Amino acid sequence: MKGRQARGPRISARVSVLLLCVALLNPSPARAAPAGRSLLILPFQPVEVEREEQWLGEGVATVLSLALVNHPAFIVVDPARVKRLGQPEASGEQVVLDTARSLRADLVFYGEIRRDAGDLRIIPRYLELGAGGGEGRAVEPVTVPEGRILESVKGLPLAYVRALRLPVSEAEVAKIEKAAMPTKSIRAFEAFVKGHGAALLGTQAGNEAAADLLGKAVELDSTFVAAQYTLGLVHVALGNRWKAAAQFRASVPLDPTFPEPYKALGDLFLTHPRRMFDQAVEAYQKALELRPFYADAYVGLGDARAAKGEVDEAIASYQKAVRHNPGNPKVHMSLGKIYYAEKGLYYESVTAYKKAIELDRQFLEARMGLGEVYEDKGLYEDAIREYRQVVGLDPQHTGALYNLALVYEKVDPREAIAQWERYIQVAVLLPSEKDWVDVARQHLKKLKTQVEGGR
């Protein structure tokens, strides 16, 4: 397949998976436990609180997210998707409902933090979406003693579980309570929350700010495992593989029951130039041992198994991923890759990519894949549309800029010249793009010669 995506994965990209039709191989599956409901956790709105306390709204949401991924009834919506929607100009139940619908959530946890007669109070609410919308419901408010915010928030995740009358085992209670108290240092927690928020911006500046803030959180509390792990993710985003691996490995002995670092290590192994697929399998399996309903780890395990040529095992992993999270856009993207690259099924591939984009309209990797299928089939206008969508969402996306220039060479050489110049302007500042900038300059020189000669 043509284009930048086909030349090799970025640090966050997955290798192609080998997935066959589950229905053909398993026409009568045993009845499985129902998948969890999609849970959107919104920052609590700060009301009449001092400026230096306003970060606590994000802090409460962060605690809920860290804790409730440990309950199988919930599929926590990626906070990055919430951040990409932008900050709404208004607040209130209708805004919560509209946001939930945009993200296809079944449940929303939200609320307020306010000063009431000098006391800090957390006022939690939740919304269950149905065919006719939803009605907000209250959870018991929490009054926070002075200097006891972390201890006070600790019980909130289980308060939501009880309000929804969900079953919860003793082991799940222990995991939720442990995750809801990630550190005893309020200063470390504040740095972590602000760093996590900066990383969600998805920009170079945001990631650099996040690295500083998360580094501060780790300095203040070296046992803060979530901060260690999140700092590793930021290093991945910044292209520092070795620093990322060191952070993930540092997280493991701090809390051997925390599965996220194992999954992250699996992702690093999967994209390693030395094809460390066995190590990736081992890392994903460890993550799943700790959290058997970890859908993204099943996706990674399927990728690793497929890379090793273990087709049946890959299929089994993907069956489990779909079972635990049927709305996971990564599965549909992987289907799109294999349907076209390995099976030559154009219609099925396009359908799968479109499903991934329907589930997450800002899923750039899926849009890139769809554009490359169109390009390979000679549907250049359709390819241009998808690549432009990517650039519209991320103007610095060098892969989309590169692919746009290549496609325009087929239909409009003058526009191709402009696109190559734009790509070079963005990519020349990135060391990882050096070789591709050289190729782009060759294309640009050739095109200019052709256009000038054709006058």
Domain spans of the chain, in order of start: 37-181
- Interior/surface letters 208-234, b for 16+ CB within 10 angstroms, e for the rest: ebbbebbebbbebbeebbbbbbbbbbb
In the chain, the amino acid numbered 188 is A
| pLDDT recorded at residue 11 | 30
The pLDDT tens digits for 418-438 are 999 999 999 998 888 989 999
pLDDT at 313 over 60: yes
Going by C-alpha positions, the residue among 414, 416, 359, 413 that lies closest to residue 387 is: 416
Distance CA 178, CA 172 (A): 10
| pLDDT recorded at residue 249 | 95
**Phi, psi torsion values for 212, nearest 5 degrees:** -65, -45
Beta bridge partners of 113: 46, 122
Q: Tell me, which fold does domain 37-181 have in CATH?
A: Rossmann fold (3.40.50)
The pLDDT tens digits for 197-237 are 999 998 899 999 999 999 999 999 999 999 999 999 999 99
| pLDDT recorded at residue 432 | 84
**Model confidence band, residue 92 (pLDDT cutoffs 50, 70, 90):** confident
**Model confidence band, residue 89 (pLDDT cutoffs 50, 70, 90):** very low
Distance CA 169, CA 334 (A): 34
Higher pLDDT, residue 354 or 92: 354
Within 10 Å of residue 278's Cβ, how many Cβ atoms? Answer: 11
The pLDDT tens digits for 1-59 are 445 554 433 333 333 333 333 332 333 333 344 468 999 999 999 988 888 889 999 99
Q: Quote the mean pLDDT of the chain.
A: 87
Least reliable range by pLDDT among 88-97, 120-129, 381-390, 395-404: 88-97
Q: Are 265 and 245 in contact (CB under 8 A)?
A: yes
Q: Are 277 and 304 in contact (CB under 8 A)?
A: yes
Dihedral, CA of residue 81, residue 85, residue 90 and residue 94, to nearest 10: -60
Q: Are 262 and 252 in contact (CB under 8 A)?
A: yes
| pLDDT recorded at residue 135 | 76
pTM greater than the 0.85 cutoff: no
